[in-house]
A and B are shown apart, each in its own frame.
Chain A
Amino acid sequence: MSFFEIKDLIFKAGDKKILDGLSITTGHSEIHALLGTNGTGKSTLAYLIMGCEGYKPVSGEIIFDGKVVNDLKIHERAHLGITMAWQEPVRFEGISVKDYITLKNKDANPSHYLEMAGLHPAFYLQRMVDKSLSGGERKRIELASILALNPKLAVLDEPDSGIDMLSTQDIINVINAFKKNGSAVLLITHREEIALIADKASQLCGGKIVCSGSPGKVAEYYKSRQCLVCRDEVCAYV
């Protein structure tokens, strides 16, 4: 059995079926890239994995390290080693970057993690994680903070969005750092060059995984637009 596995997950928001029998697996220290057009349910999947309020599957199982975690609360999942970086991380008043990175892991060296995320510690440690940070800065700080947690599984929801083109390598370095630390990564991205660093990739469409395999192969399939015709139906490629 895989270290992390989602089996036949169905999720509805109101009457709208968003995930329709989704299955996916990720091994130890494996980076699994998840591709999909806007609105296909990638972030929804991330919230379901983390156990956010209002994200309870209709059916299906989320299995982490051999244990079904469907009924666990967010922090209980976090204690097992699951964490996530949000597509749009929230801001906090009155919490410094330094305190934020060491919230749970007091022994972490915040400078080290900021550097990993391509930020100069001297400029950021004393800043607040509030509205004064730019979008890209906030995203990098979120990545630094969850890297400091040494998670077993990190769900990264578009870690590259809002990051300038010249800094793609910074983001690639962080993602690889998770792997090096032994974390499994579910990497949600729209950028091919980021997806290509993964060990494997999957494309989400119509609430299901419609294509899985090497990142190169999946990216090609994705770009070929074969799947876009079936947005709301089951993809013929499965």
Chain B
Amino acid sequence: MSEIDNLIKAVAEAGGDKGILANSDIAHLAVNEHKILSANKVEGIEVEAKETLTGIEAKVIVLEGMKIKNPVHLCFGVLHKRGTQEIKMDVRLEKNASASFIAHCIFPNAENVRHIMDAVVEIGEGAEMRYSETHYHGMHGGVEVIPKAVVKVGKNGRYFTDFNLTTGRVGRLEIDYSVTADENAVTELTARVFGHANDDIHIKEKVVLAGRNSRSIIKTRVAIEDDAQAEVIGITEGCAEGARGHVDCMEIIKDKAVAKAIPIVYVTNPLAKVTHEAAIGSVDKKQMETLMAHGLSPEEAVDVIVKGILR
């Protein structure tokens, strides 16, 4: 089987749609380790991608006013047990452009795999970007995932991200996102992670509400069990009149897992308002009792609640 067939097979096994890479109406970029296996452009998007010694470098531009109908699919795989994959992404959405991206990060056999993502994103005036990243890890826990993004959301721009790592072992995760929002810009950052065994989770997300009436939500949902650890830092700075930010962090712990939440709220303009809520602890008692009164065993009830918050 060729490398691309193997990647398509792994995507399908992870629940993805294997027809996507064959569909010429859908833009995609498929990478295994540091090899670009397949790429497709659609009208309105310019992509320049090249292989480097340890990964790839890609520049993506969504042209002014272009609304890309189908989500752009990005497949990043390391199918071997070992390997390093460094992805450098430079994404620019020009004025009033809109596009959504779906990234599949697939490391099913990882025993010692490093996946580093370094992204610079610029969302132009009135542009909208949605980015959803889903990880499929194997059960070995030998993965290191280090996604870093520096994002600028222009005036009236909109930026939504969704990071999901709920299948397989996390390994070590170190998210570092930093967003600056201009006037009227809207930012929503969501992360959902389920840690097991000795998984080590660090999530740091920062939004600077620099422009008037800019708005943001940082939402984090983490469940950890066994000896896993999680630290979630949500930072929101309200620097302009009418800026509104909210940090919403929920961590459910089981067994000997240890969770930490550090919401940092920093307001320099009296007409800005930033709020935060953080709930850490075991599963809510009343939720448990309600589900048990419906006939679920305590184990089933925990499962339903955790799946719900990670959904």
Contacts of A145 on B, CB cut-off 8 Å? Answer: 294
Given contacts A94-B309, A95-B308, whether A78 and B295 have CB atoms under 8 Å apart is yes
How many angstroms between the C-alpha atoms of A145 and B297 in the bound complex?
A: 17
Given contacts A52-B289, A53-B289, A89-B290, whether A103 and B296 have CB atoms under 8 Å apart is yes
Q: Which of A79-87, A171-179, A188-196, A227-235 contacts B (4 or more CB under 8 A)?
A: A79-87
A75 within 8 A of B: yes
B298 within 8 A of A: yes
Chain B binding surface SS class: helix
Measured as residues with beta carbon below 8 angstroms from the partner, the interface class of chain B is: 20 to 34
Closest Cβ of chain B to A6, distance in Å, is: 18
5 smallest CB-CB distances across A and B, nearest first, come from: A94-B308, A94-B311, A74-B292, A78-B295, A75-B292
A93 within 8 A of B: yes
Chain A binding surface SS class: loop
Partner of A95, one of B250, B286, B293, B304: B304
Closest Cβ of chain B to A90, distance in Å, is: 4
Chain A interfacial positions (CB closer than 8 Å to B): 50, 52-53, 73-75, 77-79, 83-84, 86, 89-90, 92-95, 103-104, 145-146, 149
Closest Cβ of chain A to B10, distance in Å, is: 26
Given contacts A53-B285, A53-B289, A74-B289, whether A93 and B309 have CB atoms under 8 Å apart is yes
How many angstroms between the C-alpha atoms of A73 and B286 in the bound complex?
A: 14
How many angstroms between the C-alpha atoms of A79 and B297 in the bound complex?
A: 10
Contacts of A92 on B, CB cut-off 8 Å? Answer: 287, 305, 308
How many angstroms between the C-alpha atoms of A149 and B290 in the bound complex?
A: 13
Closest Cβ of chain B to A64, distance in Å, is: 14
Partner of A74, one of B284, B293, B308: B293
How many angstroms between the C-alpha atoms of A90 and B293 in the bound complex?
A: 12
Closest Cβ of chain A to B269, distance in Å, is: 29
Contacts of A146 on B, CB cut-off 8 Å? Answer: 293-294
How many angstroms between the C-alpha atoms of A12 and B43 in the bound complex?
A: 72
Q: Are the CB atoms of A103 and B307 closer together than 8 Å?
A: no
Number of A-B contacts (CB under 8 A): 62
Q: Are the CB atoms of A90 and B286 closer together than 8 Å?
A: yes
How many angstroms between the C-alpha atoms of A1 and B192 in the bound complex?
A: 53
Inter-chain pairs besides A75-B296, A93-B250, 9 sampled, C-beta below 8 Å: A78-B295, A83-B293, A83-B294, A93-B221, A94-B310, A95-B308, A103-B294, A103-B296, A104-B296
Closest A residue to B290 by CB, please name it: A90
Interface residues of B in 254-311 (CB under 8 A from A): 284-287, 289-298, 301, 304-305, 307-311
Contacts of B221 on A, CB cut-off 8 Å? Answer: 93
Closest Cβ of chain B to A125, distance in Å, is: 16
Contacts of A84 on B, CB cut-off 8 Å? Answer: 293
Partner of B293, one of A50, A93, A94: A50
Q: Are the CB atoms of B292 and A73 closer together than 8 Å?
A: yes
Contacts of B286 on A, CB cut-off 8 Å? Answer: 86, 90
Q: Are the CB atoms of A78 and B287 closer together than 8 Å?
A: no
Contacts of B292 on A, CB cut-off 8 Å? Answer: 73-75, 78
How many angstroms between the C-alpha atoms of A74 and B221 in the bound complex?
A: 28
How many angstroms between the C-alpha atoms of A79 and B298 in the bound complex?
A: 13
Contacts of B284 on A, CB cut-off 8 Å? Answer: 90
Closest A residue to B310 by CB, please name it: A94
Contacts of A103 on B, CB cut-off 8 Å? Answer: 291, 294, 296, 304
